[in-house]
């Protein structure tokens, strides 16, 4: 029996979910190591939810140091079929103002020090990723924004940089020339791993700053980001409630639910037993 239907990954400034009731905190073990934090199971709008603080409570883990694989595996182990992520982002366009929400539908990868696949160790798999965000989950966020009465723009490109330093002005202007909308340090690896895990993923990107390209705004600082997040946390939580309410009971009607069907290249007979066992949670439904 699944312990949760919906996973929520809270980013910078969102280390717990006050709206959760009947809560229980659990430590989830995974073959990929420890998730960022203990996970809080609870009920939100009548749905069974699992909440994970991405950087740990107290914000202890750098974007580069995040164990994305353990975080997503833990969600799979709990039975989650949708992950709703919340993240702070810098704006790369005038029209995305601090405190607005954007619901990105594309990513550009500018990272270079991350492990973002469950495959390897004798098994090769390639999932389709042309549409990295689940449209059902994204529309649930859009609905949540409507209900909360906040700006929630559906669609946009999220640049995932390595960090932890913010961008140079030349980089920020380069990303603008690419037509990108927002910039952050964490979401793409989660989206990739969620796809391999056949979990639908979408992110609510809270605009906190204009990065460093805007001539009439100061360059981004953590201080500025924290102020915007604090002013906007209640809104984010309201949006989440609406989104949770809008989600179907599972993602079986989305293409994400069968992402692994044609993904594995490796001859079954050659997959090392330890690797097969480590990935059983993903592969059993196809191989029995």
Ligand X SMILES: CSC[C@H]1O[C@H](OP(=O)(O)O)[C@H](O)[C@@H]1O
Ligand Y SMILES: Nc1ncnc2[nH]cnc12
Catalytic member of 100, 105, 181, 209: 209
∠ CA(220), CA(221), CA(225), 5° rounding? Answer: 90
Q: Is 121 a catalytic site residue? A: no
The least CB distance from residue 145 to ligand X, in Å, is 17
Q: Report the C-alpha gap between 83 and 194 in whole angstroms.
A: 8
84 near ligand X, judged by CB under 6 A: no
Closer by beta carbon to ligand Y, 78 or else 185 = 185
Q: Please list the residues that pair with 7 across neighbouring strands.
A: 50, 83
Give the Cα separation of 121 and 191 in Å (integer). 21
CA distance 101 to 232: 10
Residue 106 near residue 158, CB atoms below 8 Å: yes
For residue 99, the minimal CB distance to ligand Y (Å) is 13
Q: How far is the CB of 123 from ligand X (least distance, A)?
A: 29
Q: Which stretch binds ligand Y (CB under 6 A): 109-117, 192-200, 208-216, 253-261?
A: 208-216
Interface map 198-237 toward ligand X (x if CB under 6 A): ------------------------x--x------------
* Interior angle at CA 259, CA 258 and CA 262, nearest 5: 90
CB of 47 to ligand Y, least distance (A): 28
Cα(201)–Cα(194) distance, integer angstroms: 6
Q: Which does 209 bind (CB under 5 to 8 A by kind): ligand X, ligand Y, none?
A: ligand Y
The answer to whether 211 is a known catalytic residue is: yes
Extract the tokens encoding 254: 């989305």
| 206 three-class SS | strand
Closer to ligand X by CB, 163 or 248: give it: 163
Q: Choose, by CB under 6 A, the member of 88, 239, 256, 260 that binds ligand X.
A: 88
Instruction: Write out the two tokens for 43.
Output: 């009920």
Residue in 185, 112, 104, 92 with CA at minimum distance from that of residue 137:
104
How far is it, in rounded angstroms, from Cα 54 to Cα 68?
9
Binding mask 100-139 for ligand X (x = CB under 6 A): ----------------------------------------
Any contact of residue 211 with ligand Y (CB under 6 A)? yes
Size of the site for ligand X (CB under 6 A): 13
Residues interacting with ligand X, by CB under 6 A?
11-12, 54-55, 63, 87-88, 163, 184-186, 222, 225
User: Catalytic residues, which ones?
Assistant: 209, 211
């Amino acid at each position: 029996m699944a312990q949760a239907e919906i996973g929520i990954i809270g980013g910078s400034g969102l280390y717990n979910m006050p709206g959760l009731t009947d809560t229980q905190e659990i430590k989830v073990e995974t073959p990929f190591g420890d998730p960022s934090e203990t996970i809080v199971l609870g009920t939100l709008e009548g749905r069974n939810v699992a909440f994970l603080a991405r950087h740990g409570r107290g914000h202890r883990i750098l974007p580069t140091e995040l164990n994305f694989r353990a975080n997503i595996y833990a969600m799979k182990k709990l039975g989650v079929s949708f992950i709703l992520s919340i993240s702070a982002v810098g704006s790369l366009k005038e029209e995305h103002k601090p405190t607005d929400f954007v619901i990105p539908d594309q990513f550009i990868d500018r990272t270079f020090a991350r492990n973002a696949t469950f495959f390897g160790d004798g098994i090769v798999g390639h999932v389709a990723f042309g549409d990295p965000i689940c449209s059902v989950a994204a529309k649930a966020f859009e609905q949540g924004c409507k209900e909360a009465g906040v700006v929630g723009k559906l669609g946009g490109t999220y640049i995932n940089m390595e960090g932890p330093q913010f961008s140079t002005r030349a980089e920020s202007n380069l990303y603008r020339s690419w037509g990108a909308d927002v910039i952050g340090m964490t979401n793409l690896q989660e989206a990739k791993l969620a796809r391999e895990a056949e979990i639908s993923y979408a992110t609510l990107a809270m605009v906190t700053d204009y990065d460093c390209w805007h001539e009439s705004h100061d360059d981004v600082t953590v201080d500025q980001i924290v102020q915007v997040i604090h002013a906007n946390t209640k809104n984010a939580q309201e949006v989440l409630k609406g989104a949770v309410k809008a989600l179907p009971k599972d993602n079986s009607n989305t293409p994400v639910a069968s992402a692994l069907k044609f993904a594995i290249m490796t001859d079954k007979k050659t997959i090392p037993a330890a690797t097969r066992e480590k990935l059983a949670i993903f592969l059993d439904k196809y191989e029995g």
